């Protein structure tokens, strides 16, 4: 089959960026006038998301706490991720650059939880044992759109979710996710509020990123203001979020999915697919076939999100750690996202089959886009037929004129670089 020629393009984004991470963390925490007594043990949450500068941000919080003569430590706060094991969660942090040596503090990891109360609706409220035993907890997390639902309250992925699911570990994650989308939209904020108001939380440190994945803002907040800050920064994050430069495609080729790119491996906000029973799919973008070719090393075989694609490769399939993926999938209860799509020998075979199945579309006229993952959307490849549409835009630069596909001898695409 004669594949359409592809051109390399660059999508330009704009947005603020924090110039000095540590200085900003210190200034923000100082602004709260927290009463941190010398010798107090303070837990700092470390999540599983691929947040830019997260290791530096956590180290800055640790250094600020040591300046107050406290005894800080990091707690992995990531629900059931890492195969729902203490060792797996430490490994995820290490993959993000968060190690005891770098952050200059111990990492205390366990899956044991303590019940600290009940909500008004009767839901149990669980907390990581190390956090519950500490003199205080500083929540650290990025605020962004959730990949499973839209909230009328403005509480999606952020500090409140970290308080509820992150610190509640596997136990709380199971209980919330067992109620499907309603659990995330209604129960999660209720449990998060209970944790925030429990007296265990000392402060929150909220992060938002611009479309380049740079740290756009860091804001410290006291517990009574955490939920309002979540909603405020979610709106700002939404405005800065990147997206595909076109809304209709015949084929989208994604080089790799990964937990370090999105909690769902493939960001549902980018690809326009939810795959949740009973939930409507987003109207845009409209993509007929999605191909995913690999799973990121940081995911350690957790290929959650592969079920959002239509075609995948033998390479990805052979890397799947079914224990880690199945634990994550079963906790979320969104089974379709772990279903294995059609497995082909390589990326080239996936593209050829997707073209054959694009009814009424001539290969030379197919609207195709290739992206490295759903987090990094600046350097892309597009089929020749998309160029007239993109050349009219001021935020698109044509880096290379149309040429043949860059497959290696095994039929996999060479890395997409500027």
Q: Check which CATH number belongs to the domain holding 137 and give it.
A: 3.40.50.11440
Same domain (yes/no): 201, 148: yes
Same domain (yes/no): 289, 219: no
Q: Does the pLDDT value for residue 180 go beyond 90?
A: no
Domain end marker among 240, 265, 294? 240
Look at residue 304 and tell me if it is in a domain. Answer: yes
Q: Does the pLDDT value for residue 1 go beyond 90?
A: no
pLDDT (mean) for 313-321? 98
Look at residue 26 and tell me if it is in a domain. Answer: no
pLDDT band, very low/low/confident/very high, at 50 (cuts 50, 70, 90): confident
| pLDDT score at 103 | 98
Q: Does the pLDDT value for residue 333 go beyond 90?
A: no
pLDDT (mean) for 309-326? 96
pLDDT (mean) for 66-91? 93
| pLDDT score at 277 | 83
Same domain (yes/no): 268, 381: yes
Q: Which two tokens stand for residue 303?
A: 């290929």
| pLDDT score at 325 | 93
Quick count: other Cβ atoms within 10 Å of Cβ 215?
23
pLDDT (mean) for 312-339? 93
C-alpha to C-alpha distances, 190 to 119, 187, 229, 275, nearest whole angstrom: 7, 5, 16, 25
Look at residue 210 and tell me if it is in a domain. Answer: yes
| pLDDT score at 281 | 87
Q: Does the pLDDT value for residue 150 go beyond 80?
A: no
Q: Does the pLDDT value for residue 258 go beyond 80?
A: yes
261-313 residue pLDDT tens? 888 999 999 999 989 888 888 889 999 999 999 999 989 899 999 999 999 99
Choice between 154 and 140, residue whose per-residue pLDDT is larger: 140
Choice between 55 and 330, residue whose per-residue pLDDT is larger: 55
Quick count: other Cβ atoms within 10 Å of Cβ 136?
22
User: How many domains are there within the chain?
Assistant: 2
* Reduced 3-state DSSP string for 227-256: HHHHHHHHHHHHHHCCCCCCCEEEEEEECC
Please tell me the least confidently modeled range out of 170-174, 176-180, 362-366: 176-180
| pLDDT score at 232 | 94
Question: Tokens 């393009």 — which residue?
Answer: 9
pLDDT band, very low/low/confident/very high, at 409 (cuts 50, 70, 90): very high
C-alpha to C-alpha distances, 154 to 203, 234, 400, nearest whole angstrom: 20, 7, 41
Same domain (yes/no): 72, 132: yes
Same domain (yes/no): 367, 277: yes
Please tell me the least confidently modeled range out of 1-5, 193-197, 249-253, 331-335: 331-335
Same domain (yes/no): 344, 283: yes
pLDDT band, very low/low/confident/very high, at 241 (cuts 50, 70, 90): confident
Tell me how far the alpha carbon of residue 215 is from its chain's centroid: 14
Cis peptide before 171 (omega within 30 of 0): no
Question: Can you tell me the distance from the alpha carbon of 411 to that of 298, in angstroms, rounded to the nearest whole number?
Answer: 23
Question: Can you tell me the distance from the alpha carbon of 253 to that of 348, in angstroms, rounded to the nearest whole number?
Answer: 10
Look at residue 23 and tell me if it is in a domain. Answer: no
Radius of gyration of the chain, Cα coordinates, nearest whole angstrom: 22
Which residues fall within 8 angstroms of residue 294, CB to CB, at 6 or more apart?
255, 256, 257, 313, 315, 316, 319, 412
pLDDT (mean) for 242-249? 94
Percent of the chain with pLDDT over 70: 100
pLDDT (mean) for 29-37? 96
Q: Does the pLDDT value for residue 332 go beyond 90?
A: no
Same domain (yes/no): 236, 251: no
Mean pLDDT of the chain: 94
Please tell me the least confidently modeled range out of 142-156, 357-371, 396-410: 142-156
| pLDDT score at 412 | 98
| pLDDT score at 417 | 82
Same domain (yes/no): 213, 285: no
Q: Does the pLDDT value for residue 57 go beyond 80?
A: yes
Same domain (yes/no): 229, 296: no
C-alpha to C-alpha distances, 223 to 58, 205, 215, nearest whole angstrom: 19, 10, 22
155 lies in which domain range?
Answer: 32-240
Q: Does the pLDDT value for residue 148 go beyond 80?
A: no
């Amino acid at each position: 089959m004669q594949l359409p020629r592809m051109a390399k393009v660059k999508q330009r984004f704009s947005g603020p960026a924090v110039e000095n991470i540590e200085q900003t963390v210190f200034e923000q925490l100082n602004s709260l006038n927290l009463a941190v007594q010398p010798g107090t043990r303070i837990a700092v949450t470390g999540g599983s998301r691929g947040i830019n500068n997260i290791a530096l941000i956590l180290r800055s919080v640790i250094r600020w706490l040591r300046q107050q003569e406290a005894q800080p430590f990091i707690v992995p706060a990531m629900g059931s991720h890492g195969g729902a094991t203490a060792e797996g969660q430490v490994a995820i942090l290490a993959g993000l650059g968060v190690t005891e040596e770098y952050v200059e503090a111990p990492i205390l990891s366990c899956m044991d939880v303590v019940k600290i109360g009940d909500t008004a609706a009767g839901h149990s409220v669980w907390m990581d044992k190390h956090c519950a035993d500490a003199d205080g907890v500083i929540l650290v997390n990025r605020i962004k759109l959730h990949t499973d639902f839209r909230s009328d309250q403005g509480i999606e992925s952020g500090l409140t979710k970290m308080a509820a699911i992150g610190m509640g570990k596997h136990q709380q994650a199971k209980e919330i996710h067992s109620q499907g989308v309603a659990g995330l939209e209604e129960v999660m904020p209720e449990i998060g509020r209970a944790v925030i108001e429990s007296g265990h939380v000392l402060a929150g440190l909220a992060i938002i990123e611009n479309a380049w994945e740079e740290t756009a803002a860091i804001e410290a907040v006291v517990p009574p203001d955490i939920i309002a800050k979540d909603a405020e920064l979610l709106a700002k994050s939404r405005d800065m979020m990147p997206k595909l430069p076109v809304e209709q495609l015949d084929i989208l080729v994604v080089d790799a999915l990964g937990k370090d790119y999105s909690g769902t491996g493939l960001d549902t906000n980018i690809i326009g697919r939810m795959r949740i029973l009973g939930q409507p799919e987003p109207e845009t973008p409209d993509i007929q076939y999605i191909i995913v070719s690999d799973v990121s090393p940081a995911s350690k075989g957790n290929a959650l999100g592969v079920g959002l694609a239509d075609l995948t490769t033998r390479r990805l399939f052979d890397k799947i750690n079914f224990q880690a993926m199945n634990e994550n999938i079963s906790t979320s209860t969104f089974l379709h996202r772990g279903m294995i799509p059609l497995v082909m020998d390589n990326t080239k075979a996936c593209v050829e089959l997707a073209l054959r199945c694009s009814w009424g579309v001539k290969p030379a006229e197919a609207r195709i886009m290739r992206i490295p993952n759903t987090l990094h959307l600046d350097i892309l490849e597009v089929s020749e037929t998309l160029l007239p549409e993109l050349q009219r835009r001021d935020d698109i630069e044509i880096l290379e004129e149309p040429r043949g596909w860059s497959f290696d001898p095994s039929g996999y695409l060479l890395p997409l670089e500027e």
